[in-house]
Amino acid sequence: MPKQSFISRTAVVLVVLTVFIIAGIITVVILFNNDLSHLRTTKVLPSMRLPKNLLPHSYKVVLQPHLYTQVMEEENGTSVNQTLQFNGISVVNFHCVEKTQTIYLHSKDLLITKIPVVKNQRRKVSLKVSQTVFHNDPSDFMEIYLEEPLETGEDYSLRLEFWGQMSEASAGLYVSAYHERDEEENVDTVRYLAATHLEPTMARAVFPCFDEPDMKAVFNVTIIHRNDMVALANGPIKGSADIGDWSYTSFYPTPKMSTYLFAFTVSEFTSIRSTTHDDVKIYTFARPEVTSGGLTRYAADVAGRILKFFEGYFGVNYKQGTLKQILLPDLDVIGMENWGLITYKEEVLLYDEKVSSQLDKNVIVVLIAHEMAHQWFGNLVTMKWWNQIWLNEGFATYMSIIAVDHVEPTFKMNEIFFLNELRSAFEQDALPSSHPLNPPEAEIQSAVDINHLFDKITYSKGASVLRMLADYMGENVFHEGVKKYLSDFSFKNPEQNNLWDCLQAAVKKDSGHTDVATLMESWTNQTGFPVITINTSTGEIYQKRFLFNDSSESDVWWQIPIRVMSSRADASLIKLTSKSPVKKNELISKNGEWILANVNRTGYYRVNYDPENWKRLLTQLETDRNLIPLVNRGQLIDDAFNLARANLVNVTLALDSTRFLRKETEYIPWEAATRNLQYFVLMFQHTEAFGPLQTYLRNQVEHLYDFYSNFTDDYAVPHEQASQYGQLTAVEVACSNRLPRCLKMASKVFGEWMSSNTNWMS
């Protein structure tokens, strides 16, 4: 081949390639400019968050679950399967606060069939949709591109028709099955119901919506269901009409609320009405056999009393005329506070006078009080974003015990409950993997991030630091600040700082000097909690983060309120406001007296002392334990064992802290000891040390067992709930460590039970 010919062909190829490259560059530039134009008319999205250029103010939602009450048998012998499908129409009315040509909202696993957009003027104007994009990622965004922009200050409506699939797990809109027994016909029928569980981000799986907590709206709901079933929703029933096999049940508008509180159920359940509230109609729904058996009477009774208490305590009435409680057979969570329609896991709320323990009432009343508290903390006043979910859950946990102490004063659960919450929080917060109560907003974006926050830190630590703050401010001042918070932010979405401002206003009104924000931000914005170490010979005190792996370094420190008492002086309040060691005169043992910090254990921290003060405290417990407050008797044991676990004190000290139990009859110290000694029992049960350990525990528990023997031998239980827990502890520790009297009692009871239950093997 001639060389000249090759050069000519090469030149032609280069020219063609150059043309393509130039054309490509021009195309990229055009597309880039188009993208820039699009970005100029559309607010740039933060990661995983909706823009705030469109704000919803109301929805009209029609939903139809295609659900049979039971699987039907056809004439040819085949069964009709549940379709698990639902369809609906959602009309959202929204306000445009910033000009945009794109509508962003949430939709998850829904098939959208129609998307008309209307400008809401006297004369409705339809807007054309140019494109719809569904994000196949954790954002669940649905983007609707319009041919013309939405104008600032105008109102619009978006009507969406859709189909979806009901879940068989209790998330989103799901189907639940239960068995109904007809003893006369000897027939066991499987019944079905539909229910919702939307917290935190599953409303978008039921209908397209602006599914973020600060995008509150009013909901007008209609449920289409088979006419042999009953529909419930957030609001009271407005009307119902039958059309063939279907019923249309409409509900009065809800208060302005977040999407995760939207709820409805379709079932054949029956109800009873509470008679303990005069103004709000409270109904408790359950399976017919549960209702007729009277198993929901206690839940119905106590619900009215709790709601009435909260209305008086908060100074804000419940915002709807009705409140429904419904007991669902297989709800994954134990309770969900949907506004006006609270759902519960059935097994937790049942109480049978014949077989239930009195302690079962404690579980029921605490759970109902928690969900009732949410009608204010979470429903009426909702955190702005999920990173501050502790403002919902911490408050509901704290306030539930305030209510229980009022409606069931004989339970005397305040101290026991808060110690349980404190223990739960400490266990998680002493690990490097813990997180702050108020993590940075940018770190909580996806549904996975949000769900991780529903843990013991949010619930138990949240309640514990509120209890510490209330003790420091004074219960009455704290109460006034909380009432202001609920009043000022009704139907709104405050942030943590708004709570501090309301509490600070109460401090100022009371002529106090507490700087609430400065005190509390170290507890909510940081991970973990401190251990304070006190040298009672010098009065020196310092703090560090408590970790089971004590070799880990941490620079964090806290503003710590500390209540201190001694064998010669009543409790006084001091503050530790630095990381460096400081000296406090109140902490000096001037005449050999013991010093006790964190009186009544209201503070969220552990305490260590110099060896001499530990010795004085433990000696006091053995000589006259009643000079040490009851809660602190449990605290000293719990702190000693956990400090030993972190290698801050010797294990011998921890074991010595249980010596006084030989004469102790109160539940709190025994609970702390048995829980912490479980590790030693498990470690030594197959070693030579297990025998001496059993002998020690047998000797220690003997007096406690005898203290309750009059009840135990007569098959009776004490009246107070703390004593009931104490009786259980006495029997458990005594029998597991082979105390002869306990073994004899257990054998007798078992023999009598065997004799009276001839069908026990069936």
Active-site residues, by number, are 371
Checking DSSP bridges between strand 264-267 and strand 270-273, what pairing results, if any? unpaired
Supply 276's token pair: 């303990």
- Ranges assigned E (strand) in 214-371: 218-226, 230-233, 237-243, 246-251, 264-267, 270-273, 281-286, 322-328, 335-336, 341-345
In angstroms, rounded to a whole number, what is the distance separating the alpha carbons of residues 501 and 490? 15
Angstrom distance (rounded) from CA 297 to CA 313: 25
d(CA 483, CA 463): 17
Please give the span between the terminal C-alpha atoms of the chain, in angstroms, as a whole number: 99
| Tokens of residue 291, six digits | 């209702």
Helix-, strand-, coil-residue percentages of the chain, each rounded to 5: 40, 25, 35
DSSP conformation class of 500: H
Strand 322-328 vs strand 341-345: parallel, antiparallel, or unpaired?
Answer: parallel
ω before 200 within 30° of 0 (cis)? Answer: yes
Nearest residue to 595 via CA among 560, 563, 638 = 563
For 311-439, strand residue ranges (E) read: 322-328, 335-336, 341-345
| Cβ pair 607, 531 in contact under 8 A | yes
Determine the 3-state secondary structure of 577 from DSSP: coil
Please check whether residue 92 is in contact with residue 78, taking contact to mean a CB–CB distance below 8 angstroms: no
Helix axes 414-429, 390-407, angle to 10 degrees: 160
Rounded to whole angstroms, the Cα distance separating 502 from 528 reads 26
What is the DSSP-derived secondary structure letter of residue 756? H
Cβ atoms of residues 269 and 194 within 8 Å: no
Give the span between the Cα atoms of 605 and 686, in whole angstroms. 35
**Main-chain dihedrals φ then ψ at residue 568, nearest 5 degrees:** -115, -10
Tokens 């010919």 correspond to 5
CA dist 199 and 332 (Å) reads: 12
In three-state secondary structure terms, 306 is helix
Amino acid at 703: H
φ, ψ of residue 430 to 5 degrees: the values are -90, 5
Which parts of 252-377 are beta strand (E)?
A: 264-267, 270-273, 281-286, 322-328, 335-336, 341-345
Q: From the DSSP assignment, how many helices (H) and strands (E) are in the chain?
A: 20, 28
